[in-house]
Structure 1
Amino acid sequence: MRTEAIGDGEPGGDAVRVLVVEDDPGIARSLMRGLTRAGYAAAKVDTGSGALAAEPVPDVVLLDLGLPDTDGVEVCRALRRRSDVAIIVITARGEEGDRVSALDEGADDYLVKPFGLAELMARMRAVLRRTRPAAPEVLQHGPLAVDLRTRKVTVDGVDVALTPKEFDILECLATDPGRVVTRQQILERVWDAHWYGPTKVLDVHIAAMRRKLGVSGLVETVYGRGFRLGEPAGGVDRA
């Protein structure tokens, strides 16, 4: 069964695939909007049978328990039997017994409605850290090295002092060099999932980061779309 997918137009080959299994149209729309804005390759179904037939196989399943055709715990059990997909239960059921049943049947996490999008995404990141192969701690691109653990940046082995926001922006770009990251995706990841302020603040940080890195062509502007990490065009110049 093909799921109903919504993407941001630039999902990238390594985008995390998220399947939303939710029969409430309003909640489903809200989740899909937030996930796609944050750069996830999101799709949705509204039944348990749809979840079990979904293609392609997702990386994360956000699973409501109160589905119209079958109980979500049964869906969780069936999903876990066939794969090691990350499963996060999202439900209005907050009783301890419901939590225990879902976790015993293979859920990786359990989140009670209502919840904030920022908390959901933090839980998704935590689950993926446990279930996916470890990502490299140091992202290397030409003369640039970004150490995700120590938050240290070097260019040709020389330390570059970035502010926390500048580092977060660079991490967004360095995770997938060459892929365009939209302005809205950066604002929501670095500032807030519901950012509606002026976008000029991003341009100021990008300009400062470019100046500090001092590598022409490294951080490219793709007009009308966003930014990406490109191929350095020359030597280092931090003057």
Structure 2
Amino acid sequence: MKILIVEDEDKTVAYLRRGLAEQGYSVDYAGNGEDGLHLALTGDYDAIVLDIMLPRLDGISLLQSLRSSRDTPVIMLTARDKVDDRLRGLGAGADDYLVKPFSFLELLARMQAILRRGRSQEATQIQVADLHIDLVARRATRRGRRLNLTAKEFSLLAALARRRSQIVSKTAITELVWDINFDTNTNVVEVAIKRLRAKLDGPGEAKLLHTVRGMGYVLELRDGVGE
């Protein structure tokens, strides 16, 4: 999932980016309202964390402009613990509201809650054979067995599951999972695939993660054993 942070305090941005990245989210940010509005209108974000007090365009004005064409979930942040500010933000279309200083765990819980409300069951839950993936809770199980995945391993599994039965190239994986472009001659993708496969395909279980030589990887249940 991709999150946009619109915040002008560097410490808050660093705090949020680190925490969200550790949870496996891809994060963009803007330090002023004008740039934030441009990204919000042109990017494909699952949620936005928006400060009220911003240079060049305040958070309320940004949200009002955004709501004319987008319904992206928004959590508003402010240093002001005032009821009227909270009401203004909610009235402008914010989905939730937090007052600084805030707990990252609380923000994460609220974000997951609004993502559940805003997305259909099909969008948040993926089933591939006996593999079940909860995209919001970031949890994967196979026949009731919890897969102990790192943030990147879960992102890799989710990227393949969203494209189940489709071959996904190494280049596409680097963009989808690492959100960057780099030389696909490096073995970072192969290493990540090997680690994910070791956790996904247990002893006696049908193999779900397959290598298609020269093309990429595919997540699906096949009749044969496969690679």
TM-score range for the pair, normalised by the shorter chain length: 0.5 to 0.7
**Residues 33-182 of structure 1 aligned to structure 2 (within 5 Å):** 33-54=18-39, 55-135=42-122, 139-141=126-128, 143-146=129-132, 160-162=143-145, 164=146, 166=148, 175-177=158-160
- Judge which range, 127-136 or 85-94, deviates more: 127-136
Higher helix share: 2
Unaligned runs of 5+ in 1: 1-15, 155-159, 183-202, 221-227
**Cα RMSD (Å):** 3.9
Q: Is the 2:147–2:200 Cα contact (8 Å) retained in structure 1?
A: no
SS at match of 2:122: coil
Query: Scaled by the length of structure 1, what TM-score is found?
Result: 0.60
Kindly provide the amino acid, as one letter, of the partner of residue 175 in structure 1: A
- Identity %, equivalent residues: 31
> In the alignment, which residue of structure 1 is the partner of 2:181?
none
SS at match of 1:130: helix
- Output the CA distance in 2 between the equivalents of 1:77 and 1:39: 29
- Output the CA distance in 1 between the equivalents of 2:112 and 2:81: 22
User: What is the Cα deviation at residue 100 of structure 1?
Assistant: 0.9
Q: Is the 1:166–1:209 Cα contact (8 Å) retained in structure 2?
A: no
User: What is the Cα deviation at residue 21 of structure 1?
Assistant: 0.7
Deviations 1:165-193 (A, max 9, x none): 659999766533366898xxxxxxxxxxx
Deviations 1:68-112 (A, max 9, x none): 223322222222123111111012122111111110111000011
- Output the CA distance in 2 between the equivalents of 1:207 and 1:94: 49
Query: Scaled by the length of structure 2, what TM-score is found?
Result: 0.63
Counting matched residue pairs gives 186
> In the alignment, which residue of structure 1 is the partner of 2:188?
none
Kindly provide the amino acid, as one letter, of the partner of residue 75 in structure 1: L
- Output the CA distance in 1 between the equivalents of 2:109 and 2:204: 29
- Output the CA distance in 1 between the equivalents of 2:150 and 2:125: 14
Kindly provide the amino acid, as one letter, of the partner of residue 94 in structure 2: A
- Output the CA distance in 2 between the equivalents of 1:69 and 1:82: 21
User: CA 1:94/1:172 → structure 2, altered by over 3 Å: closer, same or farther?
Assistant: same
User: What is the Cα deviation at residue 207 of structure 1?
Assistant: 6.2
Q: Is the 1:139–1:174 Cα contact (8 Å) retained in structure 2?
A: no
User: What is the Cα deviation at residue 38 of structure 1?
Assistant: 2.3
